[in-house]
Amino acid sequence: MRGSEFADLRAFATIVAQGNFARAATQLHVSPSALSQTIRALEARLGVRLLNRTTRSVSVTDAGSRLYARLKPVMEELEAAVADVNDLRERPAGTLRLTSSRVGAERFLAPILGRFHQAYPDIILDITVDDVVHDIVAEGYDAGIRLGEMISDDMVAIKLGGSLRQVAVAAPGYLARHGMPQHPRDLLDHTCINWRWAETGRIYHWEFQEPDGDWFSVAVKGPIIVTDKSLVLAAALQGVGIALWLEDRVVPYVEEGSLVTLLEEWAGSFPGFFLCYPKQRHTPLPLRVFTDFIRATYGS
C-alpha cells in the first residue's frame, strides 16, 4: 500500500470517528475542503460511496461501515505502536490539547505553565479556555479541567483541590433598599443576577441544599443575564442585585465590607475540579507526563 493510500484511509477513519468533517480536519491539520477532496478521491478509487454528506451532517454507508469496522482495530494498533516508539524519546514531545473553564484554568493551569514548560520544553500546550462543556473525545481534546458533576463514567478523573460552595452575596446598599432574604425561595421577590450556559443558552437555576441534605433549585429573575461569571460579581458589587458565586471568590469582598453573604445555611458543598481524560489502552507520553505533573503539584 502506498503512503497516500494509507493517509486516505486514515482520513476516512477519522471522519467516521469524529462524525464531522470540520472536527476531523482539525485533528488531521488540514482544511475541510481538502479533506472532502481526499474522500472523493478515495471513493472514486474504490468505486463505492463511503459517506453520505450534506451541508450539516455526515452518515456512513453500508460499504463505509464495513470498511471502518476492519480499519478501526488496525488504526488503533498502529497508533499504539507509534506511541510505544515515541515513549523511547529522552525528552517527551508533541502537542497536548486541553480544554478548561475560566476558573479551572486560573486555579490549576496558570500557576504551573512556567514550571511545566521548563520541565518539558518540547511539549506544546494548546489550551482552550471558556465555560463551554466540550466533548473531549469528539472535539479532539486530550484532557479537560471541569467540575466533577460534569465528568462521564468513561473518563479517568484526577482530583484537583477540595470541594466547593456557592454562596449568595449582595452589596450593603442593595440590602438597605430591599431587605435580606431569609430563605432561598425569598429570592423570587428580589433582583438577582443570572448566568446563562454558553453551549445550551439555558439560564442556570440557583442550587441550594436543605438541612436534610436534599438539593433544590430556584429560578431567579433580574435585569442582567451573562455568560461570563466575572460580570456576575461586578454587577453585585455595583448594587444591581444578589449574586451566587464561589465562596472563596467573594471572601475578599466580604472581609472589606463591600459584599454581605446571605443564606449560608443553604449553601451546600459539591465536588470541585478534576483533570479528566478518556480511558484508553495506551496513554500518549505527553499526556502521561502532564497528568503526573498535575498529581505531583496538587497532591492527587
User: How many Å apart are CA 264 and CA 169, to the nearest integer?
Assistant: 10
Burial of 221 (0-12, 13-18, 19+ CB in 10 A): middle
Q: What interhelical angle do 3-18 and 32-46 show, nearest 10?
A: 110
Residue ranges per domain, the chain?
A: 3-87, 92-162+272-298, 164-269
pLDDT of residue 140: 82
Residue 70: closest CA among 139, 4, 16, 30: 16
- Domain covering 164-269, topology: D-Maltodextrin-Binding Protein; domain 2 (3.40.190)
Taking only the tens of pLDDT, the chain with its 300 residues reads 555 677 888 888 888 888 878 888 887 888 888 888 898 888 888 888 988 876 667 888 988 888 888 888 877 777 666 666 655 556 789 999 999 999 999 999 999 999 999 999 999 999 999 888 888 887 889 999 999 888 888 889 999 988 899 999 999 999 999 999 999 999 999 999 999 987 788 999 999 999 888 999 999 999 999 988 889 999 999 999 999 999 999 999 999 999 999 999 999 998 899 999 988 767 888 999 999 999 999 975
Domain 92-162+272-298 in CATH: superfamily?
Periplasmic binding protein-like II (3.40.190.10)
pLDDT of residue 84: 61
CATH number for domain 3-87, candidates 3.10.20.30, 2.70.98.10, 1.10.287.110, 1.10.10.10: 1.10.10.10
